[in-house]
Amino acid sequence: MTAIIAGRFSERVPARWLIGPGLMLVGIGLILMGGLSGDSTWTHLIPGFIVAGLGAGLVNPPLASTAIGVVPPEKAGMASGANATFRQVGIAAGIAALGSIFTAGMERNLAQAHLTAASAPRIVTMVRQGQAGRLLASLPPASRGQVAAAIRSGFAAGLNDVVLVTAVLAFAGALCALLLIRPRDFVRAGRSEPENVSQVAGKTGADAASPAGSA
């Protein structure tokens, strides 16, 4: 929904007033996703998903137009390719960085549990590999419930760290968008004023003089 609105208003509203508030909504949505515990259900994430989704819809259309709007038309393809490349690099680097943050948060939480303090790194590794069921099956039946609760709590702690870090980055990106995306940096906006004032007057004078000179 917001993507349609952003697409319609991108020609009339400066890009920074779409990208900045959009990233703020993303940050707010991520904050709403926080506060998870081992007993949280998936419905806890729904409000944050909705708010962050609305923010992402505001960001994506003007982000693409901004990437090609600050270069001459003949270099639009190059700018679009650079934008796509940096987005892919950002996704890859973000997954690696946030994965490390998640792992550290989960391991720290598991280390605080006396039951799993000695084997926290092994548990984290198996959870990351999707082998939590296999891990629990290898434990004595009497301790499976306690270990499962510790894993859920550790998973929630790691996810809380991830959403907090990404929320801070979203707010920082919103601030940078509001401060650094300037209308005068756009090629068309930069050329519109001289084209409408002095250059048009010069062209009109030249056009008016050319028939007389040819006659």
Poorest-pLDDT segment among 21-25, 33-37, 118-122, 183-187: 118-122
CB-neighbour burial class of residue 85 (10 A; exposed 0-12, middle 13-18, buried 19+): exposed
Q: What pLDDT digit, counting tens, does each position of 158-208 carry? A: 999 999 999 999 999 999 999 999 888 888 644 433 444 444 444 545 554
Cα separation of 10 and 162, whole Å? 31
Helix axes 16-33, 141-180, angle to 10 degrees: 160
- The pLDDT value recorded for residue 207 is 53
pTM, rounded to two decimals: 0.77
Render pLDDT for 154-170 as a digit per residue (tens, 0 to 9). Answer: 889 999 999 999 999 99
Nearest residue to 182 (alpha-carbon basis) of 25, 59, 20, 53: 20
Position 87 pLDDT exceeds 60: yes
Asked if 32 and 47 count as a contact pair (C-beta separation under 8 A), the reply is: yes
Per the CB < 8 A criterion, the answer to whether 195 and 187 are in contact is no
Q: How many residues does the chain have?
A: 215
C-alpha to C-alpha distance for 206 and 53, rounded to whole angstroms: 53
Cα separation, 175 vs 194, in Å, equals: 31
